[in-house]
Amino acid sequence: MQEMAAWRKVIDNAVATGVKEAGIGTNATFGSNFVGDFSVDMTMKFLEKQHELRDAVGIKVTSVSIGDPMGWCHPVKVEEIFGRVKRKWPEINTFSAHLHNSRGMATVSAYTAIRVLDGDDTLHLQGTIGGIGGCPYCGNGRATSMAPTEDFMHMLEGMGIETGVDLDKLIECVWMMEKMIGRYAWGHVSRTGPRPMKPEQFYDANAPFVETVEQAKHFKLGKGAYEGCIYPWDKPISSPYLDRALAGQPTYELEGAWPWEEAFFPKPQQLAAAAE
């Protein structure tokens, strides 16, 4: 209520200084740990009231922001809010989403925001390395966290979006930060590494059991990270799929014979004959 009461002064000042464009937004957009869920209808009503105040003084609304200090974000709500905003106010083309990851929904909600908007829109998103950072006002402390920057960049790369970010260096930053704060961060890519897409990144099929987070760092530190672990294999592991991948061939031929015509692959006619 105190914030709402201050709007009059803010808008009067905007008019006095000649502001022609402005944004509208909500902070605890999706819900509150103290009073419960906020529906999309509630959020839209709040945005509509703000829009009306700017319309009354001739200030054009060109941006919308949604905040989430409580970690209540959800992809379905992000899709509906941004979708309804675009339909109701087509002139709005700048969007911001500040999403906390208390309940594991920040990265997937950010993905939804990307997918629901158009190529002509601008989207601002926030994250932190390792996902650290919290809100001391919401009751979840450091567990409030945020979308881990390294996980988000990894997602963008998987979507074919060039980020210009060196993910390997970003992971090094997370590890350095973890040493500084004395605990593991909340991200995932810093623990398991990016998806090994190239032969030189593949894990060793003959690796021993890998159990701890420190041992899992072999993706960057090499085999020494899991030296001395339990070795369960009674003979070396071999794989024609790996041989094909290392030779630059597809592990499965979509239009070819491998492995569909190999002796080990069941043949429909054989199954039909046996059923008769």
Task: Sketch the domain layout of the chain as residue ranges.
Answer: 2-190
pLDDT bin (cut points 50, 70, 90) of residue 100 is very high
pLDDT beyond 80 at 276: no
pLDDT bin (cut points 50, 70, 90) of residue 269 is confident
Of 68-72, 124-128, 132-136, 173-177, the one with minimum mean pLDDT is 132-136
For the chain, percent of residues with pLDDT exceeding 90: 91
Amino acid at 126: Q
The enclosing H or E element of 214 equals: none
Q: What is the mean pLDDT of residues 56-75?
A: 96
Q: What is the mean pLDDT of residues 243-256?
A: 94
Q: Quick one: which of 207, 205, 256 has its CA closest to 228?
A: 207
From CA 47, how far away is CA 88, in angstroms rounded?
Answer: 11
How confident is the model at residue 136, as a pLDDT?
83
Q: Which residue has the higher pLDDT, 275 or 181?
A: 181
pLDDT beyond 80 at 152: yes
The model carries a pTM of 0.88
Q: Name the CATH topology of 2-190.
A: TIM Barrel (3.20.20)
Q: Are 101 and 131 in contact (CB under 8 A)?
A: yes
pLDDT bin (cut points 50, 70, 90) of residue 180 is very high
Q: What is the mean pLDDT of the chain?
A: 94
The enclosing H or E element of 149 equals: helix 149-158
How confident is the model at residue 195, as a pLDDT?
95
Checking phi first, is residue 254 left (phi over 0); if not, alpha (psi -120 to 50) or beta?
Answer: alpha
Residue identified by tokens 């957009």 is 29
**DSSP β-bridge partners for residue 135:** 141
pLDDT beyond 90 at 135: no
3-state secondary structure 86-107: HHHCCCCCEEEEEEECCCCCHH
Residue identified by tokens 């015509």 is 261
Of 60-69, 95-104, 137-146, the one with minimum mean pLDDT is 137-146
From CA 80, how far away is CA 29, in angstroms rounded?
Answer: 12
> CA dihedral defined by 42, 48, 52, 55, rounded to 10 degrees?
160
16-49: pLDDT as tens digits: 999 999 999 999 999 999 999 999 999 999 999 9
Residue identified by tokens 């897409």 is 197
pLDDT bin (cut points 50, 70, 90) of residue 74 is very high
Q: What is the mean pLDDT of residues 76-92?
A: 98
- Classify burial at 112, counting beta carbons within 10 Å of its beta carbon; exposed 0-12, middle 13-18, buried 19 or more: buried
